[in-house]
Structure 1
Amino acid sequence: MSKSYYLYGKEKTFGETKSFIEDYFRINILNNPKNRYNKTLKYIPSKSYVLDYGCGWGILSKMLTDKGCRVDGIDLDKHSIDIAKDIIKENEFLKFENIPITNIPDEKYDYVISTEVIEHTHNPGNYLMECNRVLKKNGFLVLSLPNIINLRFFAAQLLNFNKKFTNYFRNFEYDKTHHHIQAWDPLTFMRLLASVGFEYTAHEFIQGMALPKGKYIHLGIPRIKNLSYIMIFKVQKKKFTMIGPGD
Structure 2
Amino acid sequence: MDYYENHLAATDVKACHRLILEIGADLFESSSSVLDYGCGTGVLIELVKAKYPHLEINGSEVSNANIAACLEKGISCQKIDALPSKDKDDDAYDLVICSEVIEHVQSPIEVLEDIARNVKPGGHVIVSVPNAFNIKHRFYYLFGKHLDPNKDPVKRRFPEHIQSLGFGHMEKLMTMAGLEIFREYGYLKPTGRLIKNGFLRSFFSSYVLTIAHRPTASGSADFLSHG
The TM-score with structure 2 as length reference comes to: 0.73
Larger radius of gyration: 1
Corresponding residue SS for 1:97: strand
1:195 paired residue among 176, 180, 194:
176
Compared with structure 1, are the counterparts of its residues 187 and 198 closer, same or farther at alpha carbon in structure 2 (3 Å cutoff)? same
How far off is 1:134 after superposition? 1.1
* Aligned counterpart, 1:79: 65
The TM-score with structure 1 as length reference comes to: 0.68
Q: Give the gaps of 5 or more residues in structure 2.
A: 152-157, 218-227
Where do 1:1-247 residues align within 5 Å? Answer: 7-8=2-3, 29=14, 35-42=15-22, 43=24, 44-46=27-29, 47-66=31-50, 67-68=52-53, 69-86=55-72, 89-90=73-74, 94-100=75-81, 102-104=85-87, 105-157=89-141, 161=144, 165-166=147-148, 168=150, 178-208=159-189, 223-227=199-203, 228-238=205-215
How far off is 1:158 after superposition? 5.5
How far off is 1:119 after superposition? 1.0
Q: Is the 8 A contact 1:137 1:237 kept in 2?
A: yes
Deviations 1:68-89 (A, max 9, x none): 3211111111111222222xx1
Compared with structure 1, are the counterparts of its residues 178 and 65 closer, same or farther at alpha carbon in structure 2 (3 Å cutoff)? farther
Distance in 1 (alpha carbons) for counterparts of 2:21 and 2:77: 19
Q: Is the 8 A contact 1:198 1:239 kept in 2?
A: no
Compared with structure 1, are the counterparts of its residues 111 and 220 closer, same or farther at alpha carbon in structure 2 (3 Å cutoff)? closer
Distance in 2 (alpha carbons) for counterparts of 1:106 and 1:115: 21
How far off is 1:111 after superposition? 0.7
Deviations 1:163-195 (A, max 9, x none): x734749xxxxxxx9511222231232122112
Compared with structure 1, are the counterparts of its residues 84 and 239 closer, same or farther at alpha carbon in structure 2 (3 Å cutoff)? same
Distance in 2 (alpha carbons) for counterparts of 1:128 and 1:165: 27
Distance in 2 (alpha carbons) for counterparts of 1:7 and 1:49: 29
Distance in 2 (alpha carbons) for counterparts of 1:225 and 1:125: 23
Q: Is the 8 A contact 1:112 1:142 kept in 2?
A: yes
Distance in 2 (alpha carbons) for counterparts of 1:165 and 1:217: 30
Q: Is the 8 A contact 1:64 1:70 kept in 2?
A: no
Identity %: 22
Q: Give the gaps of 5 or more residues in structure 1.
A: 1-5, 10-16, 30-34, 170-176, 209-215, 241-247
Compared with structure 1, are the counterparts of its residues 83 and 148 closer, same or farther at alpha carbon in structure 2 (3 Å cutoff)? same
